[in-house]
Chain A
Amino acid sequence: MKRPETSPLTPLTPAVLHILMALAEEDRHGYAIAQEIETATEGEVRMGPGTLYGTIQRMLGAGLIDESPKRPRPGEDERRRYYRMTPLGRRLLEAELARLARVMRVAQDKRILRGPGVA
């Protein structure tokens, strides 16, 4: 099987994975990213601002995301900056999700976990 070029960076830390998934749909500012993650995980993952921006800083450095030209809507806090996923980030997310899917398949094959449709 052809190994994706991004493999040295995987597996992703949960924080990076969640942020990439939150940015997959649209560009968001920090607080919106955290809210999206919280909603998506049904409140299981709550990221504090320090953790979030620490991770964002490293993702910016690795070229996984960059600053979006999108500006706050009128009436919103003007200090907000928006972030978007880079093509590299998207490839990495896809590679990671594919890897996770393989892991899930193995788990289901071994009947460790009952996947959807198996029950």
Chain B
Amino acid sequence: LEPDAQLVLSCLRGDGYSWEEIVRRHTRRVYNLCYRFTGNSTDAEDLTQEVFLRVYRTLGSYQQQHGAFPTWLSSVTRNLLVDHYRRTRRDRLTDSIDDALPQVEEKHTSQTPHHVAEQAELSAQLQQALLQLSPELREAVILRDLNGLDYSEVQSVLQVPQGTVKSRINRGRIELARILEKMGLRPA
């Protein structure tokens, strides 16, 4: 039995310390998925809490034969992210000014010659470009290239055929490359 599966079993038997271990092991993964998808640390924090709250309530529905626990956790996270995306769609359409602000700040900071600052700038540009992808392409690219899931795991999370997964990841990468080119980023 995998360590995660053992922890889930102990947790279902009422061991609170196993639950804390689960949270300790997976908070980073869930938070990063949320942060990459939303691009906002406050939203990511709230969503991570929401994910673990839902997992805590529905832990009994996790079955090992349906996949590894991290994949199941990513599915729960992804479903909440989709809900969150739909919930906030109207806000985003009316918040074009707020969206423009980070870009202005990033252009200002790109003047610094310091390597660390350059890396931070690059990272911020990448995040900004990710947010311009459609949610379907974005989640596929995040799961594959940032979270390091293989194609079958991404398929389990997204619950779509493997051909669709491959297509979304490929289109997402190409779209991202074009966005970054428009932002002035050239291949090294």
Our verdict on whether A and B bind, yes or no, reads: no
Q: Which residues of B contact A (CB under 8 A)?
A: none
